[in-house]
Amino acid sequence: LLLNRMMNDLQWSFKPPLCTITVNVCLFSDVENAKKVRELLYMGTLDVAAVKPSLISGKKQITWAAQRAISNFTSKSMKTRNLNTEFIYCLHPDNQISEALKSFSITDKSKSLLVVALDDESGEKIAAAKQAISGNCIPLIELTTQSDAVSICKLFRIQSDEKVDLDIETVFRVGIQEVAQR
């Protein structure tokens, strides 16, 4: 019940298991200024990760990648230069940072964004992102309508029989096994 209430909210805040770092998440639709948002991310003005929600299967994938990125950060074993990029890297099934960024990063024409602010106890990072993004902040329960199981299967190289309709959670479980094996 609590999880459903959080997913219906416009912002989801959590601390991954065994972590002291707060993570804030918002989902945006009808974004009109993705190019500007990309520029702000590149310049470091926005200290968040902005990813394509079509490749996100649900909250478990977000939680898992955040926990892994934070663990890498705290153990000083990050493969990337900052926590936001590490989060994106942890979403990807391969060890290729450039491929992770290419696959998950938003484009200049993106109309929907999933924004993740790591190490954001005060909520200032997510608030700055909300202010910078011209779009609708929608309930996180809508993430399932933004997810594209076919694209996720392709990214994680999941073979599925056309007659079998894989639900997004099954796709995620198989995909996570792929990421965990790297």
Report the predicted TM-score, pTM, of the whole model to 2 decimal places: 0.84
Half-sphere exposure of 91 (CA within 13 A, CB side): 33
The answer on pLDDT for 128 being more than 90 is: yes
Of 180, 160, 142, 156, which is closest to residue 9 (Cα–Cα)?
142
Token reading at 154: 């392709």
**pLDDT tens, position by position, 15-53:** 877 777 899 999 999 999 999 999 999 999 999 999 999
Q: How many CB atoms lie within 10 A of CB 76?
A: 6
Counting every residue written for the chain, the total comes to 182
Half-sphere exposure of 39 (CA within 13 A, CB side): 8
pLDDT grade for 11, boundaries at 50, 70 and 90: confident
**pLDDT at residue 42 in the model:** 94
The answer on pLDDT for 75 being more than 90 is: yes
**pLDDT at residue 54 in the model:** 94
Cβ-in-10-Å burial (0-12, 13-18, 19+) of 27 comes to: buried
